[in-house]
Structure 1
Amino acid sequence: MEILEAFDLTRCAHSAARLAGVDEKTVARYVAIRDAGGDPLVRTRRPRSIDPFLSKIEELVDRSQGKVRADVVHQRLVAMGFGGTERTTRRAVAEVKTAWRAGNRRSYRPWVAEPGLWLQVDWGEGPRVGGRRTQLFCAWLAWSRFRVVIPAWDQTLGTLVSCLDATLRRLGGVPTYLLTDNPKTVTIDRVAGVPIRHPDIVAAGRHYGCKVETCQPFDPESKGGVEHTVKVAKADLVPTSANLLPAYATFTELADACFQWCERVNTRAHREIKAAPVDRLAVERRHLHRLPAEPHAVALGEERLVDDDQTIRFGSVRYSTPPGHVGSKVWCRVVGDELAIVARTSAGLAEIARHELSTPGNPRIVDEHYPHHPGGNLPRQPRPRPRTPEEVAFLGLGEGANRWLVEAAAAGATRVRSKMARAVELASLVGLARVDEALGLAAIAGRFGDQDLASILDHLATSGIPDDVVIADENHSAQPGTSSWGRFGA
Structure 2
Amino acid sequence: MKFDGEIMEILAAYDLTGSLRATAELTGCSHHTVARHVAARDAGRPIAEPAFRGRVTDPFMPKIEEWVEKSKGKIRADKAHEKLRALGYDGSERSTRRAVAQVRAAFRLGQVRVHRPWITEPGMWLQYDFGDGPVIDGKKTVLFVAWLAWARFRIVIALRDRTAPSVFAALDRSFRILGGAPTYVLTDNEKTVTISHVAGVPVRNPQTVEFARHYGVTVLTCQPADPASKGGVESSVKLAKADIVPKDTNLRPEYASFAEVEAACEAFMVEVNNREHRATKRKPAVMLEEERPRLHRVPDTAHTVALGLTRAVPENTPMVTFETGQYSVPAHLLGARVFVRSHGVGADEQVVIVHVGSDGPVEVARHHRARPGSPRLDEAHFPGHKEKVPGDYTITPRSTAETEFLAIGAGAHAWLLEAAAAGTARMNVKMAEAVALAKISGTARVDEALGQAATYGRFATGDLASLLSAGGTRPPARSAAETSSLAQGTAGWAAIGQPAEDELEQSA
Same-fold call, TM cutoff 0.5: yes
Residues 333, 239 of structure 1: alpha-carbon distance in 2 compared, 3 angstrom cutoff: farther
Distance 1:313 1:42, change over 3 A: farther
Note the aligned Cα RMSD (angstroms): 4.5
**Contact 1:332 1:342 survives alignment (8 Å):** no
CA contact (8 A) 2:302 2:356 kept: no
Amino acid aligned to 1:60? W
Taking structure 1 as reference, are residues 478 and 313 closer, same or farther at Cα in structure 2, changes over 3 Å only? closer
Correspondences of 1:156-167 after superposition (within 5 Å): 156-167=163-174
Q: Which runs of 5+ in 1 are unaligned?
A: 370-374, 380-440, 446-464
Cα offset for 1:476?
Answer: 1.8
Q: Are 1:182 and 1:215, in contact at CA under 8 Å, matched by a contact in 2?
A: yes
Identify which of 100, 111, 114 aligns with 1:93.
Answer: 100
2:177 corresponds to 1:226: no
Partner residue, 1:319:
327
Distance 1:318 1:237 in 2: 34
Q: Supply the distance in 2 between the matched residues of 1:146 and 1:285 (Cα, whole angstroms).
A: 11
- 1:363 pairs with one of 372, 375, 386: 375
State the AA in 2 paired with 1:164.
Answer: L
CA displacement at 1:47 relative to structure 2 = 1.4
What corresponds to 1:407 in structure 2? none
Q: CA 1:475/1:129 → structure 2, altered by over 3 Å: closer, same or farther?
A: farther
Q: Does 1:271 align with 2:278?
A: yes
- Matched with 2:496 is none
1:57 aligns to 2:8 (yes or no): no
Say whether residues 1:302 and 2:308 are aligned partners: yes
SS in 2 for 1:218: coil
Q: Check if 1:242 corresponds to 2:249.
A: yes
Alignment of 1:47-86 (within 5 A): 47-86=54-93
Corresponding residue for residue 427 of structure 2 = 476
| 2: CA distance, partners of 1:54 / 1:219 | 32
CA distance, structure 2, for counterparts of residue 303 and residue 476 of structure 1 = 58
Question: Is the contact between residue 151 and residue 291 of structure 2 (CA under 8 Å) also seen in structure 1?
Answer: yes
Instruction: Kindly provide the CA deviation profile for residues 395-439 of structure 1, in whole angstroms up to 9, marking residues without a partner as x.
Output: xxxxxxxxxxxxxxxxxxxxxxxxxxxxxxxxxxxxxxxxxxxxx
* Contact map agreement 2:133 2:143 (CA 8 A) in 1: yes
Q: Which residue of 2 aligns with 1:453?
A: none
- For the 8 Å contact 1:127–1:239, the answer to whether it is kept is yes
Match of 1:384 in 2: none
Q: What is the TM-score when the length of structure 2 is the normalising length? A: 0.63
Q: Residues 363, 343 of structure 1: CA spacing in aligned structure 2 closer, same or farther, 3 A cutoff?
A: farther
| Residue aligned with 2:134, SS | coil
Pairing of 1:354-433 with structure 2 (within 5 A): 357=367, 360-361=370-371, 362-363=374-375
Q: Secondary structure at the match of 1:68?
A: coil
For the 8 Å contact 1:355–1:364, the answer to whether it is kept is: no
User: Do the aligned partners of 2:126 and 2:186 also contact (CA within 8 Å) in 1?
Assistant: yes
When residues 349 and 298 of structure 1 are mapped into structure 2, their CA distance, relative to the original with a 3 A threshold, is farther
Supply the AA of the counterpart residue of 1:180. Answer: T
Q: Deviation of residue 112 (structure 1)? A: 0.9
Match of 2:340 in 1: 332
CA offsets 1:91-131 (integer angstroms, 9 cap, x no match): 11111111111222111111111111111100111110111
Q: Which string of whole-angstrom CA distances, capped at 9 and with x for unpartnered residues, describes residues 70-94 of structure 1? A: 1221122122221111111111111
Equivalent residues in 2 for 1:423-462, closer than 5 Å? none
**Could you list the per-position Cα deviations for residues 439-481 of structure 1 after superposition, in whole angstroms to 9, with x for gaps in the alignment?**
xx9xx79xxxxxxxxxxxxxxxxxxx97859999525266996
Shift of 1:220: 0.9
Is the 1:121–1:179 contact (alpha carbons within 8 Å) kept by the matching residues of 2? Answer: yes
Once the 2 structures are TM-superposed, how far is the Cα of residue 40 of structure 1 from its aligned partner? 7.4
Contact 2:127 2:186 in 1 (8 A): yes
Distance 2:38 2:137 in 1: 82
Structure 2's unaligned 5+ residue stretches are 28-32, 344-349, 391-396, 406-415, 431-458, 467-508
The CA deviation at 1:318 is: 1.1
Question: Which has the larger displacement, 245-254 or 20-29?
Answer: 20-29
Q: Contact 2:185/2:217 (CA < 8 Å) preserved in 1?
A: yes
Q: Is the 8 A contact 1:304 1:312 kept in 2?
A: no
- Seen in structure 2, the aligned counterparts of structure 1 residues 304 and 151 have a Cα distance that, compared at 3 Å, is same
Q: Give 1:303's aligned amino acid.
A: L
SS of the residue aligned with 2:266? Answer: helix
Distance of 1:231 and 1:468 partners within structure 2: 67
User: Once the two structures are aligned, what percentage of the paired residues are identical?
Assistant: 41
Q: Secondary structure at the match of 2:139?
A: coil
* Contact 1:187–1:195 (8 Å) recurs in 2: yes
Asked if the contact 2:169–2:361 (Cα under 8 Å) also holds between the matched residues in 1, the reply is no
* C-alpha contact 2:169 2:362 (8 A) present in aligned 1: no
Preserved CA contact (<8 Å) 1:121 1:139:
yes
Distance 1:63 1:353 in 2: 52
Shift of 1:256: 0.3
Quote the residue 2:35 is aligned against. 24
Partner of 1:152: 159
Q: Measured at CA, do residues 195 and 45 of structure 1 come closer, stay the same or move farther in structure 2, by a change above 3 Å?
A: farther
1:279 match: secondary structure: helix
The answer (yes or no) to whether the contact 1:312–1:319 under 8 Å persists in 2 is yes
Q: Equivalent residues in 2 for 1:70-149 (5 A)?
A: 70-149=77-156
Q: Assess, with a 3 A threshold, how the Cα gap between structure 1 residues 185 and 482 changes in structure 2: closer, same or farther.
A: closer
SS at match of 2:136: coil
Partner Cα separation in structure 1 for residue 265 and residue 204 of structure 2: 30
| CA displacement, residues 51-75 of structure 1 (integer Å, 9 cap, x when unaligned) | 1111111111111211222122112
Q: CA deviation at 1:159?
A: 0.6
**1:202-213 to 2 correspondence within 5 Å?**
202-213=209-220
- Counterpart Cα distance in 2 of 1:229 and 1:352: 23
Q: 8 Å contact 2:173–2:360 — kept in the other structure?
A: no
